[in-house]
Structure 1
């Protein structure tokens, strides 16, 4: 079991030269996976705000949920608050209420990874996508504790695939990032972009993070257990919806 990252450490890291370079590397790897969803409802889980700011354009709404054990920051600056401190295994959202989830700095710290993925499946709309970014078990970054990617439980591709398939997610696309060492010295970060390009060709198996996009399947049944019956259900923030405006309209036609 791993403890959550601390919000102060996360903020400090992403404000540092190494953190800025790391966010750029991961964002470039996310871009090919970010298929447009019309009027989507986007949810960031863990500490996703450095990336939500880059990908929220065109969203109907965008929220950032941060684990209670981690702490939360105010986001976005100078605008109405869109962050919430939650138990990410029992989120205050209705079933099928968001179109896309970006999960980063979350799964590696989860006490119960299966419950976290099951909760993501519950709130995700049919046909919606879950994008997970986790430290790579074979990567160099998982071996250094001066970045948040050196904390928590690192994952391999096969472990992550098995976890997602157990919740009837279908892995759709893969990516990797952080193919340069986590340099402490600012002067060495000038080589990061070149090493990232070379690393994608020659040593992708040693990437610092692995990224996967998985699609929610429609055939999964959610068993009603005695524990589920006793669980206090928070009032939903969002109402159920399909995967984007087009899917929501299609679902309405089917019902009529």
Structure 2
């Protein structure tokens, strides 16, 4: 079940929400440091993060699930937000370069279909970033923030979901190590928390930022079997050829992705 858009809007207007947005946006921007001339689409409630690409990306758009609701975005200029269905995005095949999902994956029921729909609209070798609460982190345990709603994930779970949907994970950034308390000192201590957490306890980050690339094709494995023979009684009219069964194709093989969180 999706969070209500008013809760999301109020959270990001609060000091704690602004603190979370600054840290996550900085990490996302580090992964996508050059989007010049590219089309970037945000799903879920990614609007607070899309402005980091303004003035560089060719286009940006915020597509929000109808079960969540939408806000006007951006606050100035042409309206570039819309309500959509999770599994029926209003875009052509292979029409988007980058998709950023925030407050999305943890709320969808048909996760495979959701990711496959993103796969459909992405260009070959297009990039996807999933921002989701870490099931080991403190933020997933506090319902006072949007990261405490929906289903949290481990890195391995996110990796498996991505590969099943024909994406290859290429990197992960754990972040939000400070507990989600509304304390005045938190924004000032954010840098120290992030440095200490990344070095000492990365598995307990509040949020996982996982980047993946679209696989443009699926490798098909074909098994070769030796024929088996059995003695049979003579049949009138001779033998008829046996019905042949095609081998089933396998899943694409991809290089191992080391789990830096040890999950």
| Higher share of residues assigned helix | 1
In structure 2, runs of 5+ residues without a counterpart are 220-263
Alignment partner of 1:173 is 2:171: yes
Question: Aligned residue pairs: how many?
Answer: 219
Of 66, 73, 76, which residue of structure 1 is paired with 2:74?
76
RMSD between superposed Cα atoms in Å: 1.3
Q: How far apart, in 2, do the equivalents of 1:158 and 1:142 lie?
A: 17
Q: How far apart, in 2, do the equivalents of 1:82 and 1:171 lie?
A: 29
Does the CA-based 8 Å contact 2:125-2:213 persist in structure 1?
yes
Q: How far apart, in 2, do the equivalents of 1:155 and 1:135 lie?
A: 6
Q: How far apart, in 2, do the equivalents of 1:176 and 1:56 lie?
A: 24
Does the CA-based 8 Å contact 1:108-1:154 persist in structure 2?
yes
Q: Look at both structures and tell me which one has the larger radius of gyration over its CA atoms.
A: 2
Structure 1's 131 and 188: CA in aligned 2 closer, same or farther, altered over 3 A? closer
Shift of 1:185: 2.6
Shift of 1:187: 3.9
Aligned to 1:131: 129
TM-score norm. by structure 1 comes to: 0.83
Structure 1's 188 and 92: CA in aligned 2 closer, same or farther, altered over 3 A? closer
Match of 1:116, SS state, is: helix
Q: Deviations over 1:16-65 (max 9, x none)?
A: 00000001111122122114244101100000111101123311111100
Aligned to 2:60: 62
Shift of 1:89: 1.1
Q: How far apart, in 1, do the equivalents of 2:180 and 2:117 lie?
A: 32
Aligned to 1:29: 27
Q: How far apart, in 2, do the equivalents of 1:190 and 1:216 lie?
A: 38
In structure 1, runs of 5+ residues without a counterpart are 222-256
